[in-house]
Amino acid sequence: MSDSNVNMVAPPDGVVGEGFFATKLNDVVGMARANSLWPLPFATSCCGIEFMATMASHYDLARFGSERVSFSPRQADMLMVMGTISKKMAPILRQVYEQMSEPRWVIAVGACASSGGIFDTYSVLQGIDKVIPVDVYVPGCPPRPEQIVDGVMKLQELVRSESVRRRSSPEYQELLASYNIS
């Protein structure tokens, strides 16, 4: 295979000279984080089936650096909530989120995780953003695998441009405090 056929991540902007390359630490860390997200699927219904298709060979989320699916919150940095979340499940979802180490990101996949979907009842949580902060919303009921891939790519853009110091900023601490997360 020739070098022209290999798809590589474009390097961040920097200064290039003979024998050296200099850039900003934020850009390098952002690029590394964005291309090595480890998803933790929290799937409860039909959106989970679409996620399975997204991880399979036809759509292959591994192309975007999310090959290693983790089923342990301590070894994941991207929580993908898919499907209907009942109010009884909300504390467990929150516990899973809190067990993840920083930096951590959340994608709400589908109408149910985003807004409760068609289930406007007393027992269904009307959006996971009532209990944990959400970074990207993927619409649909259920969303197609292409939409889930697009959601992951949107999250990659966010991660790539995020400052290394954002997680220790007063604004971020205030966001966590609004959810009573320390």
Task: Dump pLDDT digits (tens) for 86-109.
Answer: 999 999 999 999 999 889 999 999
Structural contact between residues 98 and 58, judged by C-beta atoms closer than 8 angstroms: no
pLDDT of 179 strictly over 50: yes
C-alpha to C-alpha distance for 150 and 141, rounded to whole angstroms: 15
Mean pLDDT, the chain, rounded, equals: 89
C-alpha to C-alpha distance for 62 and 70, rounded to whole angstroms: 13
pLDDT of 77 strictly over 90: yes
Cα dihedral 20, 25, 26, 29, rounded to 10, equals 90
In the chain, the percentage of residues whose pLDDT exceeds 90 is 60
pLDDT of 172 strictly over 50: yes
C-alpha to C-alpha distance for 138 and 42, rounded to whole angstroms: 14
Structural contact between residues 127 and 116, judged by C-beta atoms closer than 8 angstroms: yes
pLDDT of 178 strictly over 80: yes
Cα diameter, the chain: 65
pLDDT at 6: 54
What single letter denotes the amino acid at residue 19? G
144 vs 8, more confident: 144
pLDDT of 67 strictly over 80: no
Average pLDDT of the segment spanning 126-132: 96
pLDDT at 65: 78
pLDDT of 58 strictly over 90: no
Task: Dump pLDDT digits (tens) for 29-54.
Answer: 998 899 889 999 999 988 889 888 88
pLDDT at 18: 83
3-state class (DSSP) for residue 181: coil
Structural contact between residues 131 and 90, judged by C-beta atoms closer than 8 angstroms: yes
**pLDDT range class, residue 1, cuts 50, 70, 90:** very low
